[in-house]
Amino acid sequence: MDTLIALSPLLLMFLLMWFFIIRPAQKRQKATKDMQTELRRGDRIVTIGGLHGLVDAVDDTTIYITVADGTRLQFERQAIARVVESAKATI
pTM comes to 0.74
Helix (H, G, I), strand (E, B), or coil: what is residue 84?
Answer: strand
Among 78, 91, 20, which Cα is nearest to 45's?
Answer: 78
**Identity of the residue numbered 61:** T
Strands 52-58 and 44-47, by their bridges, are: antiparallel
Rounded to an integer, what distance in angstroms lies between the CA atom of residue 33 and that of residue 41? 17
Class of domain 2-90: mainly beta
pLDDT band at 90; cut points 50, 70, 90: low
Which ranges of 1-85 does DSSP label H, i.e. alpha helix? 2-17, 23-37
How many percent of the chain have pLDDT more than 70?
97
Averaged confidence pLDDT in the chain: 92
Kindly tell me if the per-residue pLDDT of 21 is higher than 60: yes
43-63 per-position pLDDT tens digit: 999 999 999 999 999 999 999
User: Order of strands across the sheet with 44-47?
Assistant: 72-76, 62-66, 52-58, 44-47, 80-85
Q: How many CA atoms lie within 13 A of 45 on its CB side?
A: 30
